[in-house]
Amino acid sequence: MTDTPLPAPRRVVTAIDAEGRSYIAEDGVSPAEFVLPGSTYRSTNMWRTHAAPGAIEAPDDIAEHRGVLPPSRGTVLRVIDFPPIGDATPQERAAMVKAVFAALYPDADHHEGSERSASMHTTDTVDYAIVLEGEIVAVMDHDETILRAGDILIQRGTPHGWENRSDHLARIAFVLIDAVRSAAA
């Protein structure tokens, strides 16, 4: 199954000029985009902060970001286009997911070989996953749910995976916030 790629996410960045007036400093595609060869899987890093609270005037260094995790005490905003699984075999899906994790997310705790989903992984982050277009299945260890455009999942350092079982691309915006596990967890 093939689907027409979605247009690249548009990134609009504001700033303050020398007179203290706001303006649009940048309007276009992010300089930090990855498309998996031979696929419509696209991961676009949009912005990151290095601390909380973040410095409003901090320069744009998103092109330097590597991995899935945000900077220590920081955040990263990422938009991912998930292609439909289609008729891919479980082995083909696992190979694609393994390629994505190897290329982009080597710092994630990828649960390779998971019986629930080839994409199962864990990060020490609190994530806001906002479905912008299409639908995606959020897979947990014990259950799963379908999320559709407008739905928001708050992922709190749990093992999870993503599967697009629909016939069309799904676009999800993720805000990852660095987090720590409490000693009682």
Our CA angle for 144, 145, 149, nearest 5°, is: 145
- Please tell me the CATH superfamily of domain 31-178, with its number: Jelly Rolls (2.60.120.10)
d(CA 175, CA 132): 13
Which value, to the nearest 10 degrees, does the dihedral of the CA atoms of residues 167, 28, 11, 55 take? Answer: 160
Q: Are 175 and 127 in contact (CB under 8 A)?
A: yes
Can you give the pLDDT at residue 15? 96
Q: Which of helix, strand or coil describes residue 100?
A: helix
In order of 47, 62, 120, the CA distances from 176 in angstroms are 11, 14, 17
Helix (H) or strand (E) holding 91: helix 90-104
pLDDT of residue 171: 98
- The per-residue pLDDT for 71 is 96
Q: What percent of the chain has pLDDT over 70?
A: 97
Per-domain boundaries in the chain: 31-178
Regions of the chain where pLDDT drops below 70: 1-3, 184-185
Contact status, residue 120 vs residue 111, Cβ threshold 8 Å: yes
pTM of the model as a whole: 0.93
Given the DSSP bridges, would you call strands 135-139 and 144-148 parallel, antiparallel or unpaired? antiparallel
